[in-house]
Amino acid sequence: MKRPMKKLIGFGALVAVLVLVVARVHANDSLLPVGAAAPEVMGTNAAGATVKLSGQKGHFAVVYFYPKDETAGCTKEACAFRDASDKFIKAGVTIFAVSRDSDASHKGFREHYHLPFPMVADPSGAVQHAYGVPSVMPGLDIAARVTFLVNPDGKIAHVWPKVDPVVNAKEVLDTVAALGGPKP
């Protein structure tokens, strides 16, 4: 390949990366801010019962968005929340896991990893859009990894726009304690 062509390809790749970074930065601008009322979320728990965010008033709740069931990062994050679930229960915090996957996909994911918290199937993206969560890439119907902490009054208390799936559960528990919630 001739040198000018290599430079052009390299420049094109750089432009593509910059477009994705700028799109991601602007997408974070649309996230619900701290203090905003948290939109309703309904999920199904391990017993098959429907759990609503509005039913958690008086307690903290976590609404975490993740890209896809059974993928590496999403499994790590779900298992970290699962492994800390006793601490969340002790602190009175309900966890809602939201993705664009179907109820059937969530059921399999829950059974495979013994996930005890409500899972929210959002195939239309209505919940994702209500919270202002961007897609992982423009044009893809896959939610980015974003976590919201909802305070006992039903308002957003904290937002993690960029989540490390391994430590997110601990960060949330630490923030609940820092905001005066029960110690796990």
Catalytically active residues, by annotation: 74
Region of residue 35 (left: phi > 0; alpha: psi -120 to 50; beta: else) = left
d(CA 116, CA 179): 25
Read off φ and ψ for residue 39, nearest 5 degrees.
-65, 155
Calculate ∠ Cα 18-77-123, nearest 5°: 75
For residues 147 and 59, the answer to whether their CB atoms sit within 8 Å is no
Longest dimension (CA), the chain: 66
- State the residue for tokens 């110690």: 183
Q: What is the DSSP letter of 54?
A: G
